Structure 1
């Protein structure tokens, strides 16, 4: 049996993020059943007529949970119109909606991270939110985020496998000293 070694080429790049959040066109944080919005690190791209939303709810056993994602702009507008009468009331499953809010995030970072959070925690100075994925076809396909510390930068690592003619990307945090070494190559 003849084994052909796969030839891999690694290309890595570090970059500075000038804000502390990831840029994304019409993207929202998308989670269900997290106890705080800060726990949500999944991002989804919304459809053309959709907007970001967050619903904070208290379940029968008094667990406070958040759900977030994309919702039709029409539905969000309608819910805002009738919100005064629905927030604070239980639905048929005995779930109390404490808060429901929508926002639009065109050409910015996802806007729904701090909705329904009275005093949203701020990232410490110098910390940033970066994409975090392994083996994605394109960096823009990454749908997870991670918080990087002050001694880290956002990092993209491209791997080319010439045997399969496949380029894959790893994204995440990388030590600034490693980034500086990569820049000298």
Structure 2
């Protein structure tokens, strides 16, 4: 092995090591002084010695606001994250995996509208990432929309995962096409392919498009076999309703 090859190998090992460390770091829901979960629509990757947190605060005007993100584990243990004049009604930390701070301290939705992951590069939203788990921007969809995701080739060597809200009528047609053409012994991608598109799928449950398109379609297949998939709402039918 010459010096050039040795240096390239070393650089590759460094990149792989940093990538492994990155994937092992927790992802936490992140927002600053919001009133509801719908507004807590982004995330942050924490450091090695940090955990996810949520603070429920009462400001000088007696309004309830929430802050969320990453916090040093030692600060969490001391429960002393706040240094302002806000009254702390609740302060919690967690290290139970990605987005474990969702809905802590009463941070919950204020509406019945569906929240979907949305990385479509439009209206200031993030661009489609290489890995689906890197999209955690939540978007409140319209009442006539469902969650949509697709996987496409950006170039010859990399994929991108696109997610957004899409008309439920279009999604019903896409889902109908899926069940008409997909055979149980066929391993091809669900959804009609277009130029560069490998997979396209819809679903109606909350943030159900946060996984890779292929993973979502497998879930739909499973639910459909169990007769637990509603073809109108595109949602999972609970066992209690079967």
Is 1:111 the counterpart of 2:100 in the alignment? Answer: yes
Paired residue for 2:86? Answer: 95
Paired residue for 2:29? Answer: 29
Q: What displacement does 1:157 show?
A: 4.3
Write the mapping of 1:33-44 to structure 2, written as runs, cut at 5 A: 33-44=33-44
Cα distance in 2 for partners of 1:37, 1:167 equals 30
Q: Work out which structure has the larger RCO, using CA pairs closer than 8 Å and 6 or more positions apart in sequence.
A: 1
Paired residue for 2:52? Answer: 52
RMSD of aligned Cα (Å): 3.6
What is the TM-score normalised by the length of structure 2?
0.48
- Secondary structure at 1:133's aligned position in 2? coil
Aligned length: 146
| Runs of 5+ unmatched residues, structure 1 | 1-23
Write the mapping of 1:1-185 to structure 2, written as runs, cut at 5 A: 26-79=26-79, 93-106=84-97, 109-117=98-106, 120=108, 129-134=115-120, 135-138=127-130, 139-146=132-139, 152-158=146-152, 160=154, 168-174=160-166, 175=168, 176-180=171-175, 181=177, 183=190, 185=192
Indicate if the aligned counterparts of 1:26 and 1:45 stay in contact, CA closer than 8 A.
yes
Higher share in strand? 1
What is the TM-score normalised by the length of structure 1?
0.60
| Runs of 5+ unmatched residues, structure 2 | 1-23, 121-126, 179-189, 193-242
Higher share in helix? 2
Indicate if the aligned counterparts of 1:44 and 1:143 stay in contact, CA closer than 8 A.
no
Q: Are residues 184 and 96 of structure 1, via their aligned partners in 2, closer, same or farther at CA, if it must alter by over 3 Å? A: closer
Q: Are residues 128 and 46 of structure 1, via their aligned partners in 2, closer, same or farther at CA, if it must alter by over 3 Å? A: farther
Cα distance in 2 for partners of 1:47, 1:178 equals 43
Q: What displacement does 1:117 show?
A: 1.0
